[in-house]
């Protein structure tokens, strides 16, 4: 079978379009509310293989702060309702937990509260609440657990949804 140059270009174009469509579909999903969003796979970050011994001792220290439980990575909230994130960290000495939004440290105010509980000599649980929420509360939140041996962070993306009645 002989294929002309024009037919070959057409076949290549179709293959490229199908490949792009499959790639786009793999990267995005549509939620039940019709909101287009990225499909996060939940893969763990790649470990850096070529660290210095001092860096390895710092990040892998047996008494270093480690986040052992935390909220889900992504959260949609309804305007005017409460959103809550939590982090539980372990370390010796017991770590402290600090909250950030879009890279800036958060401080307690009337609509933003942090509640902490010391679960054990080496475990702390921190819950961050925003009530009521506004459009300005959408963004990227992080909790950071740290003690004298190590720092650990977890991030949470949040966005608001409009409810139409």
CATH number of the domain where residue 155 is located? 2.60.40.10
Is residue 129 in some structural domain?
yes
Say yes or no to pLDDT of 44 above 80.
no
Structurally, the chain folds into a number of domains equal to 1
Q: Among candidates 153, 147, 155, which has minimal Cα distance to 58?
A: 147
Is residue 57 in some structural domain?
no
Considering only residues 17 and 152, tell me which one the structure prediction assigns the higher pLDDT.
152
**Mean pLDDT across the chain, nearest whole number?**
78
Is residue 36 in some structural domain?
no
CA distance 73 to 28: 16
CA distance 23 to 36: 15
pLDDT band at 65 (very low <50, low <70, confident <90, very high): very high
* Structural domain of 70: 65-161
Is residue 10 in some structural domain?
no
Is residue 35 in some structural domain?
no
Give 80's DSSP letter.
T
Say yes or no to pLDDT of 100 above 70.
yes
Is residue 8 in some structural domain?
no
pLDDT band at 142 (very low <50, low <70, confident <90, very high): very high
Is residue 56 in some structural domain?
no
Residue range 28-39: mean pLDDT, rounded: 41
- What Rg do the C-alpha atoms of the chain give, in angstroms? 23
């Amino acid at each position: 079978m002989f294929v002309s140059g024009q037919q070959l270009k057409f076949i290549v174009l179709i293959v490229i379009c199908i490949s792009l469509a499959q790639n786009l579909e793999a990267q995005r999903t549509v939620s039940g509310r019709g909101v287009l969003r990225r499909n996060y796979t939940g893969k763990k970050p790649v470990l850096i293989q070529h660290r210095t011994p001092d860096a390895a001792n710092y990040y892998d220290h047996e008494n270093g702060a480690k986040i052992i439980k935390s909220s889900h990575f992504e959260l949609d909230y309804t305007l005017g309702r409460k959103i809550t994130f939590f982090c539980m960290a372990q370390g010796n000495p017991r770590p402290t937990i600090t909250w950030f939004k879009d890279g800036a440290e958060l401080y307690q105010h009337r609509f933003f509260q942090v509640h902490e509980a010391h679960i054990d000599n080496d475990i702390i649980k921190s819950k961050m609440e925003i009530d009521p929420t506004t459009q300005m509360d959408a963004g990227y939140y992080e909790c950071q657990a740290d003690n004298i041996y190590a720092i650990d962070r977890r991030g949470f993306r949040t966005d608001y949804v409009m409810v139409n009645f």
